[in-house]
C-alpha cells in the first residue's frame, strides 16, 4: 500500500492539472455560418497543457423525423480534428460541445453559450424565399376587418387545413386577417420556456392551433435573429405574445402591448366528436411597435407559420409559408417578402377623369398620363420584384447590370428593356435612387461625414456622389443636412 501512495498522488496531480487545462473548441467558432457540406471540428489546448486521451464531440440538432432534438457523438484521437459530412442534413441551427477525457476525468467544453454548447447555423441555400405577399394601402373608408375579408386570398394548405390571408397598411398600423379552415380546433394549456443564460421566460403558444407572423423590418437578411426581427404568435384562445431577441447576445424582449388581436372560432374547441369550420384571426400591429416608419413600396422580410395540434398523434404540425425548412425557420435570411403597396389614386379622381369630356380635359388627361407616377411595386412582374429586392439588399456593394439581371433570370439586354418598360426608368437610375434615399436617411439620422455616407451607400467617388445627389435632390449633401437637422 505504501508503494501505491506516490502513484496515487501523481495521478491526483495529473487529474488536477487536466481539469485546469485551457482546452477550448477552436472550430467551429461561436455563431459560425456553415456554407459547405463539411463541418470542421477541432479542440486545441495551451502548449504546456497535458494532452487528453480522447475528445468526444457532441452535436445537438433538431430532427425533423422525430420532431425533437437528436444527439450525435463523434469520438476522435490526437490531433483531435474531425471533418463531419453534412450533405444529408437540412439547413438548421445546431449546438456543439466537446468532452475532453484524460486519466478517468472529463471536462465539458463550449458551455459558455448554454448547456447545448456553441451555436452554429447551417445555411447553404444563401437565397431568400421567392414568396411575396402584398400588403395593400387601406384608406380607412371602410372598417379594417371588412376590407381585409373582401381581399382574402389563398395562402397555403397544411394537412387538412386551408389557409387564406389578407394584409393592409396605413401610416399607423399593419393589418392582417388569417382564416384557417380546420375541422378540429384544438388547444392546450400555456407553458413557459426559458431563453438563454438570462433565464428570461416567454409564453409557449405554438403547442396549440394558431399562427405566427415574422418580420425583418430592415430586411438585412441576417442568419441569426437580431433586435429588428419580430415575431407575433396568436393561438385560437386569443392569447398572443410578441417576441424579439438578439440570439448572439441572449437578449429577449417582449412587445405587442399596443396590438389589437381578435380570434373568432367557428365550432367548438377541444371537441373531437363534431366538425368545426375553423377560425379567423385579426391582427392590427402599430408600426411604432415594430420601430419602423412605413414607406410606400418598401419591402420587409416576412414569414408566416401555421400550428395545427393533432391530439391523436400527440404533436403539432407546422407549415411555413416561405417553404423554408422547419429546422431553419428562425433564420431571417430564409424568409419571403412583404411589399407595402403604394397609395392608389382616389376614387373621386378616377370618376372625374372618367366622366369629363372636351378637348381641354382631354389635353389635361394626356399630360397626366404622360407624367403619371410609377406604379406600385406590387404590380410589377415577379422578375422585376426580384431585381428590386436584389438592388435594395446589395446597393452598398459594387453591383453591375449582369448581377441584377441574373437575379431576375434574364439576359442583360432583355432585362434592361423589361425594367424600363415596367418602371419607366433605367436600372442604373433606380440603383442611384435607392442609394440616394438611404444617403438622405443617414444624413438626417447620423453624424457620419458626407464622405463616409457616400461610401456607405455604394459610391466610391466623392465627387460622383455629390453630382448624383444634387441631380436627384436639387441640393448638395451638405445643404440637405443643413435643411434637415437631426431631431
Per-residue tens of pLDDT for the chain, all 487 residues = 444 444 444 444 444 444 445 788 888 888 888 878 888 898 887 777 778 888 999 998 887 666 667 888 888 888 888 888 888 888 888 899 999 888 778 889 988 878 888 888 887 765 667 788 999 999 887 789 999 999 999 998 876 788 999 999 999 999 999 999 988 888 888 777 766 555 556 667 778 899 999 999 988 778 888 888 999 999 999 999 998 877 777 778 889 889 999 999 988 887 766 677 899 999 999 999 999 999 898 889 999 999 998 877 678 888 889 887 777 778 888 888 999 987 654 443 333 333 433 444 344 444 443 444 556 777 788 888 888 888 988 899 888 888 888 887 777 777 888 888 888 888 888 999 999 999 999 998 888 999 999 999 999 888 889 888 998 899 999 999 988 877 5
CB atoms closer than 10 angstroms to residue 201: 13
CATH of region 4-122: 2.60.40.10
Whole-number pLDDT of residue 203: 67
Q: What is the pLDDT of residue 354?
A: 39
- pLDDT value of residue 360: 41
* Contact assessment for residue 153 and residue 132, using Cβ atoms and an 8 Å cutoff: no
> Per the structure block, which three cell numbers stand in for 99?
468532452
Contact 436, 447 (CB under 8 A): no
Residue 100 backbone dihedrals phi, psi, to 5 degrees: -100, 115
CATH of 132-340, one of 2.60.40.10, 3.40.190.10, 3.30.428.10, 2.60.40.1190: 2.60.40.1190
Residue 254: the pLDDT is 87
Judge if 4-122 and 358-483 fold alike in CATH terms: no
CA gap 63, 459 in Å, rounded: 46
Residue 445 burial (C-beta neighbours within 10 Å; 0-12, 13-18, 19+): exposed
pLDDT value of residue 374 = 57
pLDDT confidence of residue 128: 64
Task: Tell me the sheet residues that pair with 168.
Answer: 136, 175
Report, at the CATH architecture level, how domain 358-483 is classified: Orthogonal Bundle (1.10)
Question: What is the signed CA dihedral for 241, 245, 251, 255, rounded to 10 degrees?
Answer: -30
**Is 415 in a helix, a strand, or coil?**
helix
Main-chain dihedrals φ then ψ at residue 380, nearest 5 degrees: -75, 165
**Cell 441631380 identifies what position?**
471
Q: What is the pLDDT of residue 385?
A: 87
The domain spans of the chain are: 4-122, 132-340, 358-483
- The separation between the first and the last C-alpha atoms of the chain, rounded to the nearest angstrom, is 82
CA neighbor of 167 nearest in space, from 302, 32, 323: 302
Report pLDDT for 288.
93
Distance CA 212, CA 229 (A): 13
CA distance 100 to 463: 59
Amino acid at each position: 500500500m505504501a508503494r501505491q501512495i506516490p502513484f496515487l498522488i501523481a495521478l491526483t496531480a495529473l487529474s488536477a492539472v487536466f481539469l485546469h487545462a485551457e482546452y477550448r473548441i477552436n472550430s467551429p467558432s461561436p455563431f459560425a455560418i456553415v456554407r459547405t457540406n463539411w463541418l470542421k471540428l477541432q479542440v486545441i489546448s495551451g502548449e504546456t497543457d497535458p494532452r487528453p486521451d480522447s475528445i468526444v464531440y457532441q452535436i445537438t440538432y433538431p430532427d425533423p423525423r422525430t420532431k425533437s432534438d437528436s444527439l450525435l457523438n463523434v469520438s476522435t484521437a490526437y490531433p483531435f480534428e474531425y471533418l463531419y459530412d453534412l450533405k444529408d442534413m437540412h439547413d438548421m441551427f445546431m449546438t456543439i460541445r466537446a468532452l475532453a477525457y484524460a486519466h478517468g476525468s472529463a471536462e465539458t467544453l463550449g458551455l459558455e453559450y448554454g448547456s447545448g454548447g456553441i451555436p452554429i447555423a447551417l445555411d447553404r441555400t444563401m437565397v431568400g424565399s421567392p414568396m411575396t405577399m402584398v400588403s395593400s394601402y387601406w384608406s380607412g373608408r371602410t372598417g379594417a376587418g371588412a376590407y381585409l375579408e373582401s381581399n382574402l386570398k389563398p395562402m397555403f394548405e397544411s394537412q387538412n387545413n386551408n389557409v387564406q390571408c389578407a394584409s393592409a397598411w396605413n401610416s399607423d398600423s399593419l393589418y392582417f386577417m388569417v382564416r384557417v379552415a380546420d375541422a378540429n380546433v384544438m388547444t392546450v394549456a400555456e407553458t413557459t420556456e426559458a431563453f438563454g443564460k438570462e433565464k428570461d421566460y416567454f409564453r409557449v403558444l405554438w403547442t396549440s392551433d394558431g399562427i405566427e407572423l415574422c418580420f425583418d423590418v430592415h430586411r438585412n437578411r441576417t442568419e441569426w435573429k437580431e433586435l429588428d426581427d419580430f415575431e407575433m404568435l396568436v393561438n385560437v384562445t386569443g392569447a398572443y405574445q410578441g417576441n424579439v431577441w438578439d440570439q448572439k447576445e441572449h437578449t429577449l424582449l417582449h412587445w405587442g402591448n399596443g396590438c389589437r388581436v381578435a380570434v373568432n372560432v367557428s365550432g367548438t374547441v377541444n371537441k373531437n366528436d363534431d366538425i368545426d369550420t375553423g377560425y379567423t384571426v385579426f391582427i392590427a400591429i402599430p408600426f411604432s411597435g415594430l420601430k419602423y416608419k412605413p414607406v410606400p413600396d418598401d419591402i420587409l422580410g416576412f414569414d408566416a407559420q401555421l400550428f395545427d395540434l393533432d391530439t391523436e398523434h400527440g404533436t403539432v404540425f407546422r407549415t411555413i409559408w416561405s417553404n423554408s425548412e422547419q429546422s431553419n425557420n428562425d433564420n431571417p435570411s430564409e424568409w419571403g417578402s412583404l411589399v407595402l403597396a403604394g397609395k392608389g389614386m382616389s376614387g373621386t379622381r378616377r370618376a372625374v377623369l372618367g366622366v369629363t369630356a372636351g378637348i381641354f380635359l382631354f389635353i389635361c388627361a394626356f399630360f397626366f398620363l404622360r407624367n403619371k407616377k410609377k406604379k406600385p411595386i406590387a404590380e410589377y412582374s415577379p422578375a422585376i420584384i426580384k431585381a428590386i429586392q436584389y438592388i435594395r439588399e446589395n446597393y452598398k456593394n459594387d453591383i453591375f447590370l449582369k448581377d441584377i439581371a441574373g437575379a431576375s433570370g434574364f439576359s442583360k439586354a432583355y432585362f434592361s428593356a423589361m425594367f424600363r418598360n415596367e418602371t419607366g426608368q433605367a436600372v442604373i437610375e433606380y440603383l442611384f435612387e435607392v442609394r440616394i434615399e438611404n444617403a438622405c436617411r443617414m444624413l438626417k439620422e447620423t453624424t457620419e461625414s458626407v464622405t463616409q455616407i457616400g461610401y456607405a451607400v455604394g459610391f466610391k467617388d466623392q465627387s460622383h456622389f455629390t453630382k448624383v445627389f444634387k441631380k436627384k435632390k436639387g441640393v448638395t449633401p451638405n445643404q440637405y443636412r443643413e435643411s434637415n437637422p437631426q431631431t
